[in-house]
Structure 1
């Protein structure tokens, strides 16, 4: 009889990856999982923007979910819900991507400025064919950015826009002189330029952004980018619309053929990957009421993120050996069949403990690739797909995914540390198997070493021995997120059914052992 032994090396160098290596060992060799952390060998910094968010004009993601308007009876600041903003500030949202998504390539920025009541009404043809009144435009978005203390990632319209329109939007936002566009911004209430940290040229050019061949998009990128100009202090980093799923050709071609220009800070290539329980778009799977077969298939499919990143980064290493260009996963998360009775175009789905584990597994993967993955944006922030927050009129609830983000806050701008898992168990159901334990370690800005653990097995707890080279550790203190059922979730009637609890362990007989419950996330400081 045999069990599997697995090892993970967390991200340290540019080529760092998350790899599970399986070798057979006799079962009598011991059933104790061990984790070794080398605190003396700091690796890459985990950019805070790895925990970025995404707010698209889609369903109730922006309107109702976050924006209610300044005249609403729901308490708000400049139209943005106070309860939602307060919750988002608690997870230290570092970055927000806006206005899309597919919506970005139909968005014309001039529709969203000036007197709100006079703005044109359009139809949101991508998402539900509902009225888009342009109540949230450039100024409103930056009000949200200011309230959150976050950075802005603005996605420009390549699909149905022009180079002139895109260039003029950037000038409107960043101009610091007396140009007509800068003066128009001042007339509309903003004296100083907006700080645009990142600017994306198009979205999903291979699909809803224009169904382009990558050669055509690359030519357009070079053309549009050549006209994007801003004062040096306000010039954003430019992001190219990259590939998705198993296709590495976009990453390879873009990094080889995008022309560096004197005025442009080409910073990254985007990438999109969504986790579907079934792996098929026609029938993705349910958000709730699923069996263990779709528990494990969902986790297995999300673990593909590691190989997808690794394969794309391998192309970048050839074309960009100095690692100037980031690999930004600016859309990721779970995508299920919509909740029954809701508008299919609104992409509203419930959020369970399974989603929290999906988030944590991805965080650990992103940490392992910290040298290249410098930004990610989960889809999406409120009421859409794998949301942090769900709202219903004046009600609000925090999802299990929200709690995963909040638990991982110490990893923002932390320095990754090499980590090895020995004798990792294998969790199996039917013919599908995945590693039972995922982990990541880093030294946070407070100087402490933090360890994150995910137990993917929904039926059995796991004991893990912890050893930290270069540190004398006496205790682990933090929190655990778990629940009785795989699809445990919060509702407006019971909004706190799934939330973190305290987790503590101390050295006994010279060993620090953590007992991680079934289907759980643990984040602890090692003290």
Structure 2
């Protein structure tokens, strides 16, 4: 018998993600999968920024995919595609990270202000070595987040920039006086300061951001942040560039040795079917071996967060520093015939399951994980939207994000899974059921369920302590094939369907289809 219980520890509330330990549950019959929710024991708030997005100057992720310019025949507002903006607004994008990524540490902000026709043309050496005309700069980015109703997460250039350059960009964006830089911003069309919610000092300092050691980066961080100043109402939270994968060194060293302000430490992890960067695996047309390997690899996120949070709990017992997974998602071999540097890949039902598994993991560490950013928003890696000239389609990942909207700023609730079976294939096994529960801002009780098994349904008894359930109402995302996806010829081949379950004899049982994601309100 398998079970997963929730707990409070060092300020971190662990909601249910997967089943790992065992104990008897006499309230339920043997081998009967069941979920018990304690709706009276509130945990931390699931910060809406856990559902953050990422838009890098990479391939057609910004240019063509979102930005077409104000003179384009494609309907747009201030150069941003109306169809894409409308779709993103429906999924309540809370936060957008920009301009990178690796691009950020080669980006010089002055190249992206003033008349667009006069901006310098550079080469994007990280991504395809194509021309970067700097048509999208600071003002255009803030037009984007304003159109979305989202917050801004700006990534500063530490790798090839300087403390002075970042300090001057901060003053340009946030200055409310009559300084030369604030007046330059006004001359360029923005009177009031921009609202920068988060500002990162560099990106992947261990790699493309400068191949630094944690010690060297920390020294640069301390120096740079000493000069990042803004009027109090406009001062952003400051994020340090942290580690990746199984390495906890950066989180540990930074949280011990940063002497200036730090509000969060970033972390990056990408899910590869094969775990091999030279041959990552297919986005579609894969077999069940790569279905289960992808899910198993994405579930490593739980252990990675747990190990890093343990370092923070020790070094930052007052929980002042958040652990921010500001790059995550699937990374496959690029679609045949596309530029390898553009990282364009299809998104299938498997990606929606990956997204939901990660959401449930993030919820379980909501006390410390207060922001994440999937890579990326449009046309790049695990995208929400794919475009082709004037056409647009929504991916299964988009649908997963949109289904989970009720969890934004909801209050996490303790949840236990009993008798969680294992799904196995080819010698690999993972828990079959993943779940998370929360009290939404609307007062409703929400439950998410994931069935990782692509071959069979699973029935789950649902119980809320002290409450009598009558029904579950929401939506389900599933399909006949593991790699079901939308195309421009069939843009609605896979999309959510309504889902309802009614209690019988006072017992609520939810039947979760094979390879499915469900989000319901419990009534």
TM-score, with normalisation over the residues of structure 2? Answer: 0.98
Q: Helix, strand or coil for the counterpart of 2:58?
A: coil
Map of 1:66 onto structure 2:
66
Map of 1:340 onto structure 2:
336
Distance 2:58 2:239 in 1: 22
Q: Please list the CA deviations of residues 149-203 of structure 1 after superposition, one character each: whole Å capped at 9, or x if unmatched.
A: 0000000000000111100000000000000000000000000000000000000
Q: Helix, strand or coil for the counterpart of 2:376?
A: coil
What does residue range 47-446 of structure 1 map to in structure 2 within 5 Å? 47-260=47-260, 264=261, 266-446=262-442
Residues 10, 441 of structure 1: 8 Å contact kept:
no
Distance 1:486 1:12 in 2: 37
Query: How many residues of Structure 1 are paired with residues of Structure 2 in the alignment?
Result: 519
Q: Helix, strand or coil for the counterpart of 2:155?
A: strand
Map of 2:478 onto structure 1:
482
Residues 243, 251 of structure 1: 8 Å contact kept:
yes
Residues 243, 268 of structure 2: 8 Å contact kept:
yes
Residues 11, 369 of structure 1: 8 Å contact kept:
no
Residues 12, 418 of structure 1: 8 Å contact kept:
no
Q: CA deviation at 1:473?
A: 1.7
Distance 1:145 1:400 in 2: 23
Q: Please list the CA deviations of residues 330-358 of structure 1 after superposition, one character each: whole Å capped at 9, or x if unmatched.
A: 00000000000000000000000000000
Q: CA deviation at 1:388?
A: 0.1
Q: Helix, strand or coil for the counterpart of 2:4?
A: coil
Distance 1:213 1:150 in 2: 34
Map of 1:513 onto structure 2:
509
Q: CA deviation at 1:471?
A: 2.6
Q: Helix, strand or coil for the counterpart of 1:270?
A: strand
Q: CA deviation at 1:25?
A: 8.8
Q: Helix, strand or coil for the counterpart of 1:274?
A: strand
Residues 111, 120 of structure 2: 8 Å contact kept:
yes
Map of 1:501 onto structure 2:
497
Q: Helix, strand or coil for the counterpart of 1:140?
A: helix
Seen in structure 2, the aligned counterparts of structure 1 residues 257 and 98 have a Cα distance that, compared at 3 Å, is: same
Seen in structure 2, the aligned counterparts of structure 1 residues 161 and 189 have a Cα distance that, compared at 3 Å, is: same
Given the alignment of the two structures, is residue 467 of structure 1 paired with residue 463 of structure 2, yes or no?
yes
Residues 18, 433 of structure 2: 8 Å contact kept:
no
Map of 1:9 onto structure 2:
6
Residues 201, 241 of structure 2: 8 Å contact kept:
yes
Distance 1:52 1:349 in 2: 20
Q: CA deviation at 1:13?
A: 6.7
> Which residues of structure 2 form unaligned runs of 5+?
none
Map of 2:20 onto structure 1:
21
CA RMSD of aligned residues (A): 1.4
Q: Helix, strand or coil for the counterpart of 1:105?
A: helix
Distance 1:255 1:165 in 2: 25
Residues 427, 433 of structure 1: 8 Å contact kept:
yes
Seen in structure 2, the aligned counterparts of structure 1 residues 25 and 441 have a Cα distance that, compared at 3 Å, is: closer
Q: CA deviation at 1:509?
A: 1.1
Q: CA deviation at 1:10?
A: 7.3
> Which residues of structure 1 form unaligned runs of 5+?
none
Q: Helix, strand or coil for the counterpart of 1:196?
A: coil
Residues 157, 201 of structure 2: 8 Å contact kept:
yes
Distance 2:102 2:273 in 1: 23
Q: CA deviation at 1:470?
A: 3.2
Distance 1:364 1:254 in 2: 27
Q: Please list the CA deviations of residues 401-429 of structure 1 after superposition, one character each: whole Å capped at 9, or x if unmatched.
A: 00000000000000000000000011000
Q: CA deviation at 1:7?
A: 2.1
Distance 1:378 1:504 in 2: 30
Q: Please list the CA deviations of residues 367-416 of structure 1 after superposition, one character each: whole Å capped at 9, or x if unmatched.
A: 00000000000000000000000000000000000000000000000000
Residues 3, 23 of structure 2: 8 Å contact kept:
no
